[in-house]
Homo-oligomer: A and B are copies of this chain.
Amino acid sequence: MPDRHVQTFRQFQRVVTREVGALQDDFLGRGRPFGASRLLWEMGDGPVEVSSLRERLGLDAGYASRLLRSLEDEGLVAVRPSPDDARAKVATRTPAGTDEATLLDRLSDDAAQGVLAGFSDSELAEIDAAARTLTRALTRRHLSIETVDPQSRDAQWCVDQFFAEIDALFDSGYDPAKAIVVGASELTPPHGAFLVARLHGQPVGCGGVKLPAGEPAFLKRMWVAPSARGLGVAGLMLDQLEALAVASGAPAVTLDTNSLLTAAGQLYESRGYRQVADFNGEPHADRWYRKEL
C-alpha cells in the first residue's frame, strides 16, 4: 500500500481526534457523564432490553446498571422488569428523556452544521461524498455477511423489520397471506440461502436467494436497516447472493420489487439488472428485474 495513503489517513485521524474531543465536550455540557448521554441517546424511544443495550455499547453490567440508575433518578428513563423474563429488565425513555435525547440530537446537528457552515454548495456536495466514502471505508472492517438459518433469531428479526417497513410504505399495506409464500427450506442450502449482514455483530440487513436447479435464481427479502444505509451493505449483499447463484449454475438472477423502494431500483439498475415483464404475479410488486450471468 502506498505510504502516502497511510500518511494522508493519519493526518486525517489526527484532525478527527481533535474534532471528536470537541464533540464530546458538547455532550458533557449537559451536566452528566458522556456515558450516560450516550446510553440515553443509543437506547432509542421504544422499550429496549437492558442486556442488548449493554452489549451494543460494550458496557460492564455493573457500570451500565449505575448509569441507568442515574438516568432514572434524573427522570429520563423508566426501567421495568421484562414481560418475557422476570430476571431481565427493559428500559424506556420518559417524555422528559425523549426531550433530552432530542436536545442532544440538536446539539449534534448544530456541531455538524458548525463544521459545514461557510462552505459553498459545491464544496458541501464534495464534503458529503467524501464523508460517505470514508464512512463506508471505516465501516467495512466491522461488517460481516454470513449464511444463516432463515428461522434463526437474527434472520427473523430482519424479516420482521422488513415487513413492518414495507407495510407502512405501501398504500394498501403488506399482507404476507397474499404474498408468494417462500418456505424456509427454499432459502436453505442446497435449495437456496439466506444471508444476514452484521455491523459490530448486530444484524443490519438480510437477503435471500432461491436456487431452483436449472432455473434462474430468485432474490427475496433484500433489506438494510435504516441505521446502516449508505454504507454499501446492499451492494456487498448482492455480490454474495449473485456469487451463490453463479456457484449453483443458475443462468440468470431475477427478482421483483416495488417502485416505492427507490434505492433498491437504483441499486439493481446500476448492477446491470434490466426490467422485464411480470413473471410471477406477486401482488406487492410493480417491477421485475433480470440479469444474465
Footprint of B on A, CB under 8 Å? 1-2, 4-6, 8-13, 15-17, 19-20, 23-24, 108-109, 111-119, 123-135, 137-141, 230
Contacts and interface: CB of A to CB of B under 8 A. Distances in A.
Contacts of A6: 109, 112-113, 116
A108 B1 contact: no
Contacts of A24: 17
A117 B8 contact: no
Contact of A16 (B2, B125, B138): B138
Contacts of A133: 126-127, 130
A84 B175 CA distance: 82
Nearest to A127: B137
Contacts of A126: 133
A17 B35 CA distance: 13
B135 A15 contact: yes
B116 A5 contact: yes
A4 B111 CA distance: 15
B137 A5 contact: no
B124 A2 contact: yes
A9 B20 CA distance: 12
Given A135-B12, A137-B119, A113 B1 contact: yes
Nearest to A139: B15
Contacts of A119: 137, 140
A139 B9 CA distance: 14
A55 to B, nearest CB: 15
Nearest to A230: B11
B1 A117 contact: yes
A111 B13 CA distance: 10
Given A11-B135, A16-B16, A129 B128 contact: no
Contacts of A114: 141
A9 B9 CA distance: 18
A12 B115 contact: no
A19 B9 CA distance: 12
A13 B129 CA distance: 14
- Which 7 A-B residue pairs are closest in the complex by CB-CB distance? A130-B130, A130-B133, A12-B131, A9-B112, A12-B135, A20-B20, A6-B112
Contacts of A135: 8, 11-12, 15
Given A8-B230, A126-B133, 9 more contacts: A5-B128, A6-B113, A6-B116, A8-B131, A9-B128, A9-B131, A114-B141, A119-B137, A130-B133
8 contacts: A1-B117, A4-B128, A5-B128, A6-B116, A8-B135, A16-B19, A16-B20, A130-B134
Q: In this complex, which of A20, A24, A109 has the most chain B Cβ atoms within 10 angstroms of its Cβ? A: A20
B13 A116 contact: no
